[in-house]
Structure 1
């Protein structure tokens, strides 16, 4: 049996993971394209990149009572949108290169006004983010920041609690 196999076109590196030559696929792609922003693993230890997701907590409670799956879908849509929009940014590339070691923090905004206030604050401070607006209802559901070093953005988010 070979050390690897393809599953839906994706290399399963389960057995290759422990070899010294294995590198995450995205790192290999960045290096192959010569993008110049493929990180070294030593740098990543020094710069902890985090992607923050801020979901509206009031959507789960009465009178709205959204199902948990719908809220998770909102966060997924926004995370993909902000990652796509900032794919060429070196921090986004480095974050994606981490593979299973990516750090994501999910926070709760109490209501829509807290979410829009956060969006204004982020915009005033030139913090890249995406506010996801659910259509056709036109409801702001969450904000996701592109991956940032924690120390650069944490102070803008410290008033929000972890989503429970």
Structure 2
């Protein structure tokens, strides 16, 4: 599986400012991850990533707020990085991004300024 990794980027203000419970935040990540994996089920990197389920590599990063996550989604779109911006309904709140599995070197440069989620 070499260096294929999946990145998940979560808004840190969901917990610190909006007081969302941890379980609700984790559910957002699960929704986005399931969606992007489904949408890319025939992609060669996704197939390779899923061949070794016990050794999947995910990196969960945090991003400041709604404006920041929307800007990141646009930057990823502009650079043809396939991802799912999860928007919680019915509130219409963008909560997280799940990027499809990619070789690390294809994606890391777009996420360099982000820190691991705490």
Shorter-normalised TM range: over 0.9
Q: Could you tell me which runs of 5 or more consecutive residues in structure 1 were left unpaired when the two chains were aligned.
A: 1-43
Q: Helix, strand or coil for the counterpart of 1:65?
A: coil
**TM-score scaled to structure 1, two decimals?**
0.71
Aligned residue pair count: 118
Cα deviations by residue, 1:30-73 (Å, 9 ceiling, x for unpaired): xxxxxxxxxxxxxx2xx3100000000000013x1000000000
Match runs of 1:48-67 below 5 Å = 48-62=3-17, 64-67=18-21
- Displacement of 1:114: 0.8
**TM-score scaled to structure 2, two decimals?**
0.98
* Residue of structure 2 in register with 1:155 after alignment: 109
Alignment RMSD, CA only?
0.6
Q: Could you tell me which runs of 5 or more consecutive residues in structure 2 were left unpaired when the two chains were aligned.
A: none
- Displacement of 1:133: 0.2
Alpha-carbon distance in 2 for matches of 1:130, 1:97:
22
Cα deviations by residue, 1:68-123 (Å, 9 ceiling, x for unpaired): 00000000000000000000001001001111100000000011111011000000
Structure with larger Rg:
1
Relative contact order (C-alpha < 8 Å, sep 6+): which is higher? 2
Match runs of 1:34-73 below 5 Å = 44=1, 47-62=2-17, 64-73=18-27
Runs of 4+ in structure 1 displaced over 3 angstroms? Answer: none
